[in-house]
Amino acid sequence: MIERYSLPKMSSIWQDEFKFKTMLDIEIFSLEALARLKKVPPQAVARIRRKARFNLKEISRLEEKTQHDIVAFVNNVGRYIGPDAKYLHLGLTSSDLLDTTLGVQLKAVSGILEEDLDRLLSVLAKKAKRYKDMVCVGRTHGIHAEPTTFGLKLALWYDETRRNLLRLQQAREAAAVGKISGAVGTYANIDPSVEAHVCRKLGLKPANISTQIIQRDIYAQYLTTLAIIGASLEKFATEIRHLQRTEVLEAEEPFGKGQKGSSAMPHKRNPVICERICGLSRLLRGNALAAIENVALWHERDISHSSVERVIMPDSTIALDYMLNKFIQVVDGLTVYPDNMLANLVRTHGLIFSQRVLLALMDKGLTRAKAYDIVQRAAMLTWKEGSGFKDNLLKSKEFTLRLKEKDLDKIFDLDYYLRNVNTIFRRLGLN
């Protein structure tokens, strides 16, 4: 991932320093277990633990020659260890290091993403409660429908984010696995107890069964989960983008002092953060598809997945970390325009009350079809002329035979639509 969208804490987990440090831990933990099995002298393990280190530049130089990063790593570490290097990597295969390290990395990055989601939940809860009763128009198909509140929009995002946190926890649990099972997963040259010891020390679970690798459906689940979280962020950001449109302007992402919206038009205040979040969500979905393509490998393993994962694993986690942090800033600094919400609410001259009028006529004995026809004729006149919906209803003899103006006064009541808002908030634990 490019530096522009990378936050330091997350990025550090995908750096070579973290990767090779974890691999060195795996090698030493394996030797500890082998010493218990009397396969390696305990004194040798103590000397290896004291001497073992690596040099990133030397590994890179060796890899140019060997064309194999793990061979380069093992050879480099061996040079520091000396004669005891003959015990290093005993019975292991490259993927024992690579996939177990990946389990450690995914567990670590998941912790960061879970912290991000927790912070997003906190700010969404705060804002939802603040705007719980701020009435605005609900829209379906982009068209005014019935009254709702801005707090309900945010409460919906809160609930979806809570589901996403649960999804991530489940995906993290599935991906936090390791394997020390050898070349084709049969433990031919390494005892299963070594795997158990290494995974326990690293805080991982041993894979139930593996080949040369951990099976890639696990990582497909993980990256698909990240893509779903990204899709939710895109959904939330898209709503803000629509609400920030000049002709709507009910809410607006933060615009900092000194910020510029356009190189050509000084008046512009564009929803650039939300647009950036929407763009990066496409990257997450593309990477999830690549992870699914990685599931089908030849026999006990081929290497076609490796090059893909070197890109999609860091890029997806780094991008989502960035997106979550940016969206937290957006929600926390959101500018809300209640006067514009009320202005937009009445823009359709009362049409938002049409369903209540329909139901009231049905209560007077009309069929749904007949009542619908009466209400729709008055509504279409309002659309055409911009006249008041209530006035157009009162012009209809078919309507006034059944309902009067005082009845409409009760029907055109915002409180009726909002009477269950507190119930919804209690259900979400936001009371």
Contact 168, 152 (CB under 8 A): no
Closest CA to 279 of 246, 319, 309, 321: 319
Which residues does residue 178 pair with via DSSP β-bridges, in sequence order? 206
**CA–CA separation, 189 and 58 (whole Å):** 29
State yes or no: is 262 an active-site residue: yes
Distance of CA 193 to the CA centre of its chain: 36
Q: Which residue has the tokens 């990597």?
A: 89
Give the 3-state secondary structure of 375-407. HHHHHHHHHHHCCCHHHHHHCCHHHHCCCCHHH
State yes or no: is 349 an active-site residue: no
Closest CA to 235 of 273, 167, 281, 287: 281
Cβ-proximal residues to 97 (8 Å cutoff; 6+ apart), any chain: 23, 26, 27, 70, 73
**CA–CA separation, 225 and 169 (whole Å):** 10
In the set 141, 263, 267, 299, the catalytic residue is: 141
**CA–CA separation, 387 and 379 (whole Å):** 9
In the set 12, 60, 262, 304, the catalytic residue is: 262
DSSP state of 148: E
Give the residue numbers annotated as catalytic, written as ranges. 141, 262
